[in-house]
């Protein structure tokens, strides 16, 4: 066989491997198409988008200073004296406080989930790709963290560093990243033996490039689905901790704190607690509905389950 024939055979082989490597599943492209047809996901996305816009521009449009007290106007009902949602026991405008409270809840939910998703994806990717002792060490640490109750960790950390949103963010992020790591690790375990990964190795691609360019796009869908649920969990955790006085501190408003402040007036002035409570329910409902829709998009086998 001539040298030219050998070179031709090698070029043909590399061309076939290149086509196989580039033919990896494009889950993101398919997901965008399916998302546009999924009414469940779109409905949840509309709710979440609405509250996101409120969190961004709402406080700037607030009719009053959220901390301004007018004791002569305390406990006004909704639609009275220029106060659309009424006032609290100190005469502060409920709508102005609610708008800032939504921003705080969304910021805590999105911020902690983004941090947890980033850490969890890196740890899960390393554990699932390298396996062996790397997987045993990392997965053992993940299981240890995953076993801690979220509220207990939050109370311990906040007790150590003091009440406030910083402790809430650290506590929620400390626990939730383990959930992302478990999901990503399982997906990478299945994907690393696929043909497009073997083709990438055959072309001399490094481990880092394979993980970033070829594995990450195929696991980020599952991580985003979990992210929508974990944002809701973070919002509930922040509301619960603020309710017991360990989250946002006065005069900074928080939805959980507003519910706590109005709990003593439930019989006569129920709107003080019911309005922020309804906001939490709608926000969490939207995130969960969006998560269910995204789950159906990224894994049609689960459609109708759960």
CATH code assigned at 243: 1.10.3720.10
- In the chain, what percentage of residues exceed pLDDT 90? 27
Residue-number span of the structural domain to which 169 is assigned: 85-302
pLDDT digits (tens, 9 = 90+) for 231-249: 999 999 889 888 988 888 8
**Residue that the structure tokens 């399982």 belong to:** 186
DSSP string, 231-272: HHHHHHHHHHHHHTTSSSPTTS--HHHHHHHHGGGTTT-THH
pLDDT at 275 over 90: yes
Q: Tell me, what's the pLDDT at 208?
A: 84
Lowest average pLDDT, out of 72-76, 156-160, 297-301, goes to 297-301
**Residue that the structure tokens 């009440």 belong to:** 163
pLDDT at 4 over 80: no
Q: Tell me, what's the pLDDT at 32?
A: 62
Q: Tell me, what's the pLDDT at 29?
A: 59
CA dist., res. 226 & res. 130, Å (int): 23
Q: Mapping DSSP to helix (H, G, I), strand (E, B) and coil, where does residue 80 land?
A: strand
Is 279 a domain residue?
yes
Average pLDDT over residues 281-294: 88
Average pLDDT over residues 248-267: 88
Q: Tell me, what's the pLDDT at 135?
A: 87
Q: Tell me, what's the pLDDT at 30?
A: 62
Residue 263 pLDDT grade (very low, low, confident, very high; cuts 50, 70, 90): confident
| pTM, entire model | 0.81
- In the chain, what percentage of residues exceed pLDDT 70? 85
Q: Tell me, what's the pLDDT at 244?
A: 87
**φ, ψ of residue 203 in degrees (nearest 5):** -85, 5
Q: Mapping DSSP to helix (H, G, I), strand (E, B) and coil, where does residue 87 land?
A: strand
Where is pLDDT greater, at 227 or 7? Answer: 227
Is 1 a domain residue?
no
CA dist., res. 243 & res. 108, Å (int): 15
CA dist., res. 254 & res. 168, Å (int): 12
Q: Is-contact 137 108, C-beta < 8 A?
A: no
Is 119 a domain residue?
yes
pLDDT digits (tens, 9 = 90+) for 200-214: 778 878 888 888 888
- What does each C-alpha distance from 299 to 31, 114, 285, 292 come to in angstroms? 9, 22, 21, 10
Rg for the chain (alpha carbons), in Å? 25
Is 116 a domain residue?
yes
Q: Is-contact 267 258, C-beta < 8 A?
A: no
What six digits make up the tokens of 280?
A: 């939490």
Is 47 a domain residue?
no
pLDDT digits (tens, 9 = 90+) for 79-134: 888 889 999 989 999 999 999 999 999 999 998 998 899 999 999 999 988 888 98
CA dist., res. 36 & res. 206, Å (int): 36
Is 27 a domain residue?
no
pLDDT at 142 over 70: yes
pLDDT digits (tens, 9 = 90+) for 5-63: 434 444 554 555 455 444 444 555 565 666 667 777 788 888 999 999 999 998 998 99
Is 56 a domain residue?
no
CA dist., res. 213 & res. 200, Å (int): 10
Q: Tell me, what's the pLDDT at 300?
A: 52
Specify the number of domains making up the chain.
1
Average pLDDT over residues 172-189: 87
Is 218 a domain residue?
yes
């Amino acid at each position: 066989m001539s040298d030219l024939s050998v070179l031709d055979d090698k070029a043909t082989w590399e061309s076939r491997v290149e086509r196989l490597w580039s033919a990896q599943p494009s889950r993101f492209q398919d997901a965008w198409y399916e998302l546009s047809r999924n009414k469940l996901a779109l409905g949840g996305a509309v709710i979440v988008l609405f509250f996101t816009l409120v969190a961004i521009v709402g406080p700037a449009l607030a009719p009053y200073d959220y901390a301004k007290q007018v004791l002569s106007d305390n406990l006004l009902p909704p639609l009275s004296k220029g106060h659309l949602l009424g006032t609290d026991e100190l005469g502060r405008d409920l709508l102005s406080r609610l708008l800032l409270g939504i921003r705080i809840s969304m910021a805590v939910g999105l911020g902690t989930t983004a941090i947890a998703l980033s850490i969890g994806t890196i740890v899960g990717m390393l554990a699932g790709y390298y396996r062996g002792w790397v997987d045993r060490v990392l997965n053992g640490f993940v299981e240890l963290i995953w076993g801690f109750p979220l509220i207990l960790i939050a109370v311990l950390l906040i007790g150590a560093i003091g009440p406030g949103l910083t402790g809430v963010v650290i506590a929620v992020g400390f626990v939730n990243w383990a959930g992302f790591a478990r999901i990503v690790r399982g997906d990478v375990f299945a994907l690393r033996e696929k043909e497009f990964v073997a083709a990438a190795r055959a072309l001399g691609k490094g481990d880092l490039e394979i993980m970033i360019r070829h594995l990450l796009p195929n696991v980020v869908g599952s991580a985003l689905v979990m992210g929508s649920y974990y944002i809701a969990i973070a919002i509930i955790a922040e509301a619960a901790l603020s309710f017991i006085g360990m989250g946002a501190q006065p005069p900074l408003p928080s939805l959980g704190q507003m519910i706590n402040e109005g709990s003593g007036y439930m019989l006569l002035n129920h709107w003080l607690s019911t309005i922020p409570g309804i906001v939490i329910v709608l926000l969490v409902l939207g995130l969960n509905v969006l998560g269910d829709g995204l789950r159906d998009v990224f894994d049609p086998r689960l459609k109708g389950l759960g």
